Every structure is written in C-alpha cells, then in structure tokens.
Amino acid sequence: MMENNLENTTQNDFDNSQKSVLDLPKMEAVLYEALHTNTLYVNLIVLCIIFLFIEAGVCVLAFTVEEVRPYWVLSVAGVAIVFGLLAWIEFKAFKFRGYALRNHDLLFREGWLWKSWTVIPFNRIQHLEINQGPIDRLFDLASLQLYTAGGASSDIEIDGLTPQRAADIKTFIMAQNTTLKQNESEPAI
C-alpha cells in the first residue's frame, strides 16, 4: 500500500514534459519601467567632468612639451569628438535601459549596441543596497544595488530611481523573498 502511494506521489509531483521554445514567455514583450530622465543629465554631467579633466591634461601637455605644441588643436578636437560620440551613445543607450518587477523575479535591460537582458530571481538575491552620490542627491536620484548568490558577475545596479522608488522596490523584493522562502520551507501535503 505504501509503495503504491509513493508511486502516485512521485508521478503527480514530477513533471518533465518537453516545452516548445515558441511557447516560452518573451522577455522583450514585458513592459519595462523607464529610468528617471534626470539620470541622463547626471550621466552627461559625469561625462563632462571627465572630459574637462582630460582636456585640461591635453592642454597642459600641449603647452609644456614642445614637440606636442603644434598639435594641440588636433588633440583638443580629437578629445572633443570622442566626447561627442560618447554623449551620443549615452543618449541612444538611455532609451533602452529599464527594469520590470514580477512576482518571482526582476528583469533589467541595458545597452544600445550590445544589448543585455538580465533576469534575477528573488530567491537568489543575498542583499540590497540603496546608494546616492553627491550629483545624484542634487537631482533627487538613487541607485538600487542587488547582490546575488551567483557572484559579482550576476550583481546589477539600477540607477535612475528616485530615493522613494528605490526604497519601495527594495521593500517589495524583500517581502517577495520572505514569502518565497516561507513557501519553500512549508512541507508539501
């Protein structure tokens, strides 16, 4: 009798049926939340600050090294062209960045030339951290850092959130994670 009961339990609980790739949910079809527009401004300001330091270094080099002096205009123009290209790439990439929350996971997408979609199941998240740099505070922004059990390569940072939104997402993920762990620990009947 017990052997028959064990067979029924095993057969009813275990499903290893084949799935068609065409029937799987599409991550691209999910409605992603856009990052706050101020994020673009912060990223461009940081890019400008880096650009100004590089331009200052090029100018100092051009006026202190006599061999470089005839080429200082070309050097400054070259750095300006690279800056313009990076700013243009930032504009294009910003439109694609976004996140989506679901019952069991968080989706994050980024990139323009090299697109990346990341799915992080809540039960893999070790801890969450909200960060806010000085420029972020000026624009009322924060970032949410998710650390996972998969190591540093699977950790993500969602920037471009308001501090309240980051706190709300952190609270939601922690609550979902607690619920999922409670359901896992409950014995199956």
At a CB cut-off of 8 Å and minimum separation 6, what does 147 contact?
125, 126, 127, 128, 129, 155
At a CB cut-off of 8 Å and minimum separation 6, what does 132 contact?
141, 142, 143, 163
Three-state SS string across 112-158, please? CCCCEEEEEEHHHEEEEEEECCHHHHHCCCEEEEEEECCCHHHCEEE
Pick 2 or 116 by higher pLDDT. Answer: 116
125-132 mean pLDDT:
93
Q: What pLDDT does residue 11 have?
A: 52
The owner of tokens 């200082």 is 72
Q: What is the pTM of this model?
A: 0.75
Instruction: Reply yes or no on whether the pLDDT at 12 is more than 90.
Output: no
- Given a contact cutoff of 8 angstroms between Cβ atoms, the answer to whether 111 and 96 are in contact is yes
**Rounded to an integer, what distance in angstroms lies between the CA atom of residue 62 and that of residue 56?**
10
Question: Residue 177 has which token pair?
Answer: 């994670």
* Residue-wise pLDDT tens digits, 150-160: 776 678 999 99
Residue 23: pLDDT band with limits 50, 70, 90: confident
**Rounded to an integer, what distance in angstroms lies between the CA atom of residue 135 and that of residue 39?**
10
Closest CA to 122 of 178, 185, 177, 183: 177
Q: What pLDDT does residue 22 have?
A: 84
SS3 call for 35: coil
Instruction: Reply yes or no on whether the pLDDT at 3 is more than 60.
Output: no
